[in-house]
Structure 1
Amino acid sequence: MKKIILTLTTIVTSVFCNAQDSKTMSDGSQTAEGKWLIEANTNFGTPVGSNTNFSYATENGNSIYNIGAEAGYFVIDDLAVKFGLGYGGMKNDIVDTNVFSYKIGVKYYIASQFPVQLDYSGASIKDASENPSYFGIQAGYAWFLGENVSIEPGIRYNVSLNQNYASSDTFQLNLGFALHF
């Protein structure tokens, strides 16, 4: 047990030390004011009715797919205002419908390395009596692979804002790929 705690402490310390080595805002880092962000995420976990990620799942003849992306603008250093759009569908023996999803929120990079996001997302589902909406919180780590590309693994929790919608709160794992310019 002591070895596990020591190993985890070493990893956490290393991550925080590396974050402190990131570029300063004055030399044009990826999260500086005035920069743009274009992001595509994969979605691992329970699919929700509102989705701006790339995802596909099938089980016992039931299929759910989605394609989407998000964009943001850094209004100040490390803080981006974001929006996203997605299109997907659900298909099984009973349902064959299309879903249009949207998202708006903010993303803040703590120490220019640890992204935390808060957002509102919703969807318009063809022929649905009620459309889903969620309040989401997301956190992760940004690996910058040069001047314009980052990989951002993270976790996400969606709180359902609908009382009667079939999907309740959901937990997801995401792997994001972002372009910074």
Structure 2
Amino acid sequence: MKKLAVAICLLVVSLAAQAQFEKGTWIVNPSISGMDFSYSKNDKAKFGMGVQAGNFLADGIALMINVGADWSKPVDEYTLGTGARFYFNTTGVYLGAGLDWNRFHWSGGNHQTDWGLGIEGGYAFFLSRTVTIEPAVYYKWRFNDTDMSRFGVKLGFGLYF
């Protein structure tokens, strides 16, 4: 009986979320709590934050831009990028990919600029008609310095207008 109740609840949430992934809907996805935990060869573990925003160009397909900053020692990192998300049906499950530009500043004064390719998979869990919690897994591959490539998990919030 419990499994049936959970299945019905998920179906109702999926039907309510359907309108949020339609053409013309705007999405803002901040990681305002700094809950971005990741691993790379250089800095082992770090915490950061960022914001993504975009628009659904077609049902289930959103074009996104992102900005981010991380002031972890010994490297400060600034990010600017673009990408897309594809939402499967109306369930909230999505895959995303994008290209970003990073500027790295080390505490010794050295700096480096690098391009990267990122992929992510996540789930938009609707708390209300317009607010989501969005856990995701991602991988960011750096073109010039693979030591700066990063695998991680993040927890963000989504606002759908």
Assess same fold via TM > 0.5.
Answer: yes
User: How does the TM-score come out when normalised to structure 2?
Assistant: 0.75
User: CA 1:156 to 1:165, structure 2 compared with 1: closer, same or farther past 3 Å?
Assistant: closer
Partner of 2:102: 123
User: CA 1:90 to 1:83, structure 2 compared with 1: closer, same or farther past 3 Å?
Assistant: same
Determine if contact 2:36/2:47 at 8 Å carries over to the other structure: no
SS in 2 for 1:29: helix
CA distances 1:64-90 after superposition (whole Å, capped 9, x unpaired): 664421101011111110001112324
Partner of 2:38: 45
**Aligned equivalents of 1:143, 1:120: Cα separation in 2:** 25
**Aligned equivalents of 2:36, 2:70: Cα separation in 1:** 13
Identity of aligned residues (%): 23
Partner of 1:114: 93
Q: How far is the alpha carbon of 1:145 from its aligned partner?
A: 1.4
- Is residue 152 of structure 2 the alignment partner of residue 175 of structure 1? no
**Aligned equivalents of 1:125, 1:21: Cα separation in 2:** 41
Partner of 1:69: 51
The alignment covers a number of residue pairs equal to 150
- Which residue of 32, 35, 38 maps to 2:22? 32
CA distances 1:24-46 after superposition (whole Å, capped 9, x unpaired): 89xx7111110110002331221
**Aligned equivalents of 1:159, 1:83: Cα separation in 2:** 18
Which structure exhibits the higher relative contact order, with contacts defined as CA atoms closer than 8 Å and separated by 6 or more residues?
A: 2
- Which residue of 5, 8, 15 maps to 1:23? 15
* Superposed CA RMSD: 3.3
Determine if contact 2:37/2:47 at 8 Å carries over to the other structure: no
SS in 2 for 1:34: coil
SS in 1 for 2:22: coil
**Aligned equivalents of 1:118, 1:148: Cα separation in 2:** 23
Could you tell me which runs of 5 or more consecutive residues in structure 2 were left unpaired when the two chains were aligned.
Answer: none
User: How does the TM-score come out when normalised to structure 1?
Assistant: 0.68
Could you tell me which runs of 5 or more consecutive residues in structure 1 were left unpaired when the two chains were aligned.
Answer: 1-9, 50-56
